[in-house]
Amino acid sequence: MSGEAWQSDEIRPASVHRAYGRGAAGFDAYVATLPGYRTHLRVSASRMGLGDGHGLRLLDVGCGTGVSTEALLTSVGGAEVVAVDASAEMLAVARRKNWSPRVTFVHSRLETLAEAGIEGPFDGILASYLVSNLPDAEHGLRRLLTLLAPGAPLAVHDYAVGGTRGRVRWATATWGWMLPMASLRWGATDLARYRAKRVATAGGPEQMVHRMERAGFDDVRVQTVGGAQQHLVHTFLGRRPDEPDVVGERRARRSAIAAAGWRPSAAPPPDDEPVAEGGPDDPGYADELPADVGTDGTPVGDTPVGDGPDSTDRPDSTDRDDLVEEGRPGDDGSGGKGAGDGPAGPDRADDAAPPAGDDDADTRPRGHAVARVRRRGLRRPPSPAPRGTPADPGDDAPTPPEGTPRV
């Protein structure tokens, strides 16, 4: 067995931060090859709706080399930011950069934040490419919930691929872009291979939404990003409910139920229930996205990256309904990580409007059919007129010869 394969076999969720430490020196060069990586982080930070951030205290958990910290400062400029990562090597790269005095870097795992002196409440938390790396994602989400002030938001910026179509696109991105770039720029092919497999088996957006809801988050939403990573990278938003201690109250209720001797019947979680996914231009909790970020995830005025598989098939429309295929039509954003991995091209979404008569609730196409009709510009054939109905004068009907008697 080769040394690289041996290293790949030993990577586990509980020790993945050591693998990131081995590849810390080349991480920034690697993510620079990923279309929209930095811009997408800014979009997720902006979707928390925190305004200019003056007087706020924010947590960047899983900050790595500081790319997500930079995005948080750019989007919420006046805030105080505590940036935490479990890899000392990644933090060493981050600390060598030029930072505002409002930024503090702390070496700690999520499970040991209290021992490191990090306590809440925070006015917002950004967890970029973290949750999918945790040994127990739902348990980690509960810890993040306890660190938030009541009503404060969490933004989970992460990969989520669901269904056969999503897994095929993810495999294309992995073998066509991520692994080659990891070998050339990062020098951590074993970690990239581990990440690719973990993301492919972690479930789609529905699973992440339901995990957040079970962890106690309120007003959970999901939006995808634009460009080459559309429907692969998502922003998952959730708030801590406006309760003094929602976690403590839940534990107290469980204790009371256990003392009474009652046990609820086991029921499978509704992880397969579809969720409404917002498009790239969905602002989430914010009123609007920054003006310098286009709906395809690239800064306005920059030439979109043309590398990567299917990267030429970019969405042209700014209508969210045309861009959402994994959710329901008419999404208004009220429904809905590891290092960055490779891009995959989204299906093209064109500006074609539905037929004028498609507003009838009994006849319009539903679900995926709406996205398919609008994406391809298809129009359903008109229903045949009932017998005895006179033809439309505009129709090109054959004209009978003169003298033909009327029937």
203-220 tens-digit pLDDT? 899 999 999 999 999 999
* Residue 30 pLDDT greater than 80, yes or no: yes
pLDDT reported for residue 400: 53
Element of type H or E holding 167:
helix 163-173
CA dist 71 and 77 (Å) reads 9
* Radius of gyration, alpha carbons of the chain: 25
Count CA atoms closer than 13 A to 79's CA, side-chain side.
29
Count CA atoms closer than 13 A to 90's CA, side-chain side.
30
Average pLDDT over residues 370-389: 44
pLDDT reported for residue 99: 95
Look over the chain and give the mean of its residue pLDDT values, rounded to a whole number.
74
Q: The domain 3-264+273-323 belongs to what CATH superfamily?
A: Vaccinia Virus protein VP39 (3.40.50.150)
pTM over 0.75: no
pLDDT reported for residue 300: 39
* Residue 345 pLDDT greater than 50, yes or no: no
The more confidently predicted of residues 315 and 137 is: 137
Of 116, 13, 138, nearest to 59 by C-alpha is 116
CA dist 270 and 207 (Å) reads 9
CA dist 146 and 142 (Å) reads 7
pLDDT reported for residue 84: 97
pLDDT reported for residue 174: 82
Average pLDDT over residues 26-33: 93
Q: Map out the domains of the chain as residue ranges.
A: 3-264+273-323
* Residue 383 pLDDT greater than 80, yes or no: no
64-110 tens-digit pLDDT? 999 999 999 999 988 999 999 999 999 999 999 999 999 999 999 99
CA dist 44 and 128 (Å) reads 9
353-369 tens-digit pLDDT? 444 444 443 433 333 33
* Residue 309 pLDDT greater than 80, yes or no: no
pLDDT reported for residue 312: 35
